[in-house]
Amino acid sequence: MKRAGAGRAADHGLTHADRRGRARMVDVGRKAPTTREAVASGRIAMNAAAFSAIRSGAAGKGDVLGVARVAGIGAAKRTAELIPLCHTVPLDFVAIDIRLRARDRSVLVEALARTRWSTGVEMEALVAAAAALLTVYDMAKAIDRGMTVGPIRLMRKSGGASGEYRRGAGRAARSGSKREVRGRTGRRGRRGSA
Classified as helix, coil or strand, 59 is coil
Task: Establish whether 104 is a catalytic residue.
Answer: no
Query: How many Cα atoms sit within 13 Å of 163 on the Cβ side?
Result: 11
Q: Which of 63, 92, 104, 138 is catalytic?
A: 138
Q: Name the E strands within the chain.
A: 34-45, 91-101, 106-117, 148-158, 165-166, 191-193
d(CA 175, CA 103): 34
Cross-strand bridge partners of residue 17? 23
d(CA 104, CA 26): 41
d(CA 71, CA 44): 15
- Counted residue by residue, the chain has a size of 194
Residues recognised as catalytic: 138
